Structure 1
Amino acid sequence: MAFTTIALLFFLLFLGVSLLVSVPLTGTLVRLRANYNPKGLQLDPEDGVQPHTGPVVGGFFSMMGRVRRLEGWAGLYKGLMPTLFFNTLLAMFSAIFLDTSMSSPRNHGAYNAPATGFVGTLAYSIFLMLVSLPAVIVTYRSITTPHRLPYFKPFYSLRILLTPTERRKPWVLYLTPGLLATELLHVSYYVLGLRTLRHLLLPSLSGSDVPDKEDISATKLIIYFIIALVSTVILCPLEVIATKLAVQRNHASSDFNSVAQEEEGDAEDVVEYAGADEDVIGLRSELDPYLGFTDCFQRIVHEEGWRALYRGWWVTMLFGVFGAFA
């Protein structure tokens, strides 16, 4: 049986080490991509108010240093609890319904589809799609919020992260403009695309057992490695767009008064970090939101330049290559 005490202990050990390393990296990457930094500012035609923009940050490690300076070590581990919950949920689903081992590192991670057949992979992809979208929203917002969220008060944290509209109608999260399409493209390309290609080119790597060297074709391995590298060109922009759409909150109306009324009282008596007088990043004004996947892509290119679509590209490349052979 896939779900045993020993497997559970190995899973907890692996998950703890994984989160210790991955959460600061993910948090830094999310902030780098969510930071709104247009090339030129334009005045609002109605009231002349300039949109709130973020600091100019040189790169990944500059952002990590900025987070450490303004929010301390606790800031680097923002998003820990939703990440822990999401990974545990995926592992439990794989162990219970797909009969995979929880003790195998190859079956851990959002995009590490379990070593199972086509039907199992399809079921995992559908479940991943349903769960990943609200998980991405909650995780990314918990990372980018300037507020200090308690680890063991999920309902209190959700009250800060979600608008009254999103709390009253949770399904609105799936209607976040463009986010569902972006996540669908990302999951489809990674799980159904790359994983299926690996199964065709390198079937020995798709099994649950460690393959022998004689079972792996060097030529096919190089071909797949190159494809995994080139996939960064597609995956990185999708991840940047998903980040910007996920932190964009849903309101009952895009009208200014409605937004102001919904935000009123959401953040009362909320503790902020010591460096709260200086924002770690800047977010695009919710008065002028992205309207969908295509609109977000075009505005990023027009306002921030095409390079913004490839923020943290090398992280996507590393995760993609290592994940492809996991």
Structure 2
Amino acid sequence: MHDCVGLVLSYFCSHINDMELENDTQILGFLLLGFSEGPELQPFLFGLFLSMYLVTILGNLLIFLAVSSDSHLHMPMYFFLANLSFVDICFTSTTIPKMLVNIETQKKVIPYGSCIMQMFFFILFATLDNFLLTVMAYDRFVAICHPLHYMATMSPQLCGLLVLVSWIMSVLHSLLQTLMVLQLSFCTEVEIPHFFCELNQMIQLACSDIFLNNMVMYSAAILLAGVPLAGVLYSYSKIVSSICGISSSQGKHKAFSTCASHLLVVSLFYCTSLGVYLSSAATQSSHSSAVASVMYTMVTPMLNPFIYSLRNKDIKEALNVFFRASIKRPFFNKYLCLQA
């Protein structure tokens, strides 16, 4: 897997260099406007976004470590949750550190190659988020609607295959979109009304024909966002139907509690993403677009660990065990023992 990713990245970087050499009109960089309004607010914004970023990294890292270290959580649902936490860490790290540097230094320029790479990884991890939430919905569907066949259906081989296919499709989608952008020409130094290199904004700023780019972008949005969303809605329609068929109220509550956290995360992900693009269509204000983008690039990944840990008894117990083990035998004690 690492070799394949390395080959993709090496080809990708060489293609960027070739495009820069072939196109004499290729710009050197873009201006990320982001939150350039209100210079007096820059220190506050830096502190706010840095705190949110640290909370996001710490929260998702704790979920990942808790699931990895506790053998009781080595089940399909938590396997997918650990992958989601890892992807959320990568997702936020793709855009937020650069934004923090821009706020602190007041330098808005991002080199052309760095912008392309940022866009590639942003699309990759955003698509992965979408696929993993769909896979988790299918996992909950099997657990509630077919509980007797759950362990046989959601085998380790199938779980690994679902994650692998999600990675492959996300990489191919991101690579396609990025290569399409590499074919565009940008006549002058352009301004992106976001704090990161967003695909649609870059396409709209090109001075060459963008018809094919728009076709590919909208077709991919329908296939890679609409189809998974339809799968999620179908899974939960069956889940609700099965829960309604349970006679005891205790059984209904137990069944609902197993999917409530995931349903909340799915709602948050799709509602914030949809809100961003609706707000972008309704207003041309760069400030409004940047604020709306914060919702799904920072707020959603930050809230995911809290949603799963606060509503999940197994996760809370695993975190307690993890913290107790860390306090009793921290890393530096192990190092001292080894030195002795």
TM-score, with length taken from structure 2: 0.30
Q: Highest Rg: 1 or 2? A: 2
> Higher helix fraction: Structure 1 or Structure 2?
2
TM-score, with length taken from structure 1: 0.31
